[in-house]
Amino acid sequence: MSTSLILANGSNLVQTHQDHKYPPVLLDGNIQPADLHVWEQAANRYFIKMKVTNDDKVTTISSSFRNLGISNWIESTKDVMVAEGYTFPSFMTDIREQFLEHGWARKIHRSEIKRAMLPNQRFIDYANRVVYYNIILKGTEHHSDDKKLRETFIHHMSEGLINKVDTLPVDERTRIHEIVSLNTWMKEIENIDSTWKADLKSNAAMMNELLNRRQREEPRNNRTTDNYRNDPCNDKFLPSFQPSRNEPRDENRYHPYRRDNDRDCGRFYDSDRDRGRNYEF
C-alpha cells in the first residue's frame, strides 16, 4: 500500500512505499519543480533498495507516471530511452524541459537563491531553504557549486549577522574564512547566529524586567504621597484659613479641617471654646 508524501510547497502528487520496494508514482496534476524533485529522490531510494543497475533505471521507472502527457511522451520516445548510454539523470533533464514551464530554473534562482535573509530569521533556516532549491536546480545552468553558494550566503545575510561577524577577532574571522567544507562553514555561522540572538533575547528580557519593576514601584510611590497628603495630621496640606480681622491669630485654635480632638495625631485643640466662631476663608 502506497503512502502520500507531503511536499514542501503543500502539494501531494508523489506516492511511494515506505520500504521502497516498489517504484514511486507521480500522480496527475499541476506538476511543479518540487514535485519532480521529491519523485526523483524517491526513485533513487528505490534503485538503492532494489539494487537496480544504471542501464535499467529508466526502463524500470518509466511506468510510474499517472500524468497522461508524460505517459504519452515516454511511449513516443521509447527508442531513445532504451538506447545505450541513456541515463536516469538525462531522463530527468528531459522531463523537466518537456513538462515544466519555460524559465522555471531562472525564476527559482531569482526568487529563492537570491532571496535575502530576514532580520528575525535563523541563519540555518535561511541556509537550508537555499540549499534545498539549489538541489532542485541541479543539472541547470542556474545551479551553484559550494563556493558560489557560500558567496550567496555572505552577500544575503541579515545586516545584524554581518555586523556580528565583523566584530569577531581577526584570528577568528581568518579561521572561519579558511574553512573549505560548506557544511562546516554553515555550522560555524549558525553558532555565531545562535549566540548573538540568545544575547539579544537575554538583554531584551533584562530590559523588560527593569521596566516592569519600575511600573510596579510607581503606583506604590503615588499611594504613599496620596496618603500623606490626605492625612489630617499633616498641616502642610491643610487648606489655609484666616480668622476674623477682630480676632488675634492663634495656631492652637480649632481648625475647621481637623478632626475634633484628633487623638490620632497626638494633638488636642480647644474646640469647645472656639466652636461657633466665624472664620473667613
pLDDT at 197: 87
- Chain segment 178-227, per-residue pLDDT in tens: 999 999 999 999 999 999 888 877 777 777 777 777 777 776 655 555 55
**Is 37 a residue whose pLDDT tops 70?**
yes
Question: How is the chain split into domains, by residue range?
Answer: 3-100, 105-202
Q: Which helix (H) or strand (E) holds 224?
A: helix 182-230
Supply 40's cell numbers. Answer: 526523483
Query: H-helix or E-strand containing 185?
Result: helix 182-230
For residue 62, pLDDT beyond 50: yes
Task: Tell me if the pTM is above 0.85.
Answer: no
**Segment 99-110, tens digit of pLDDT:** 999 999 999 999
Q: How far apart are the C-alpha atoms of 189 and 275, rounded to whole Å? A: 86
* Contact residues for 81 (Cβ-Cβ < 8 A; gap 6+): 58, 59, 62, 74, 91
Provide the pLDDT for residue 19: 78
Tens of pLDDT, residue by residue over 94-138, are: 999 999 999 999 999 999 999 999 988 999 999 999 999 999 999
DSSP reduced 3-state for 118: coil
Q: In the structure grid, which three cell numbers stand for residue 226, read together? A: 496620596
Tell me the average pLDDT of the chain. Answer: 80
Does position 269 have pLDDT exceeding 80, yes or no?
Answer: no
Distance CA 165, CA 167 (A): 5
State the pairing for strand pair 279-280/242-243: antiparallel
Q: Alpha carbon of 177 to those of 32, 145, 152, 185, 250: distances in Å?
A: 37, 17, 14, 8, 89
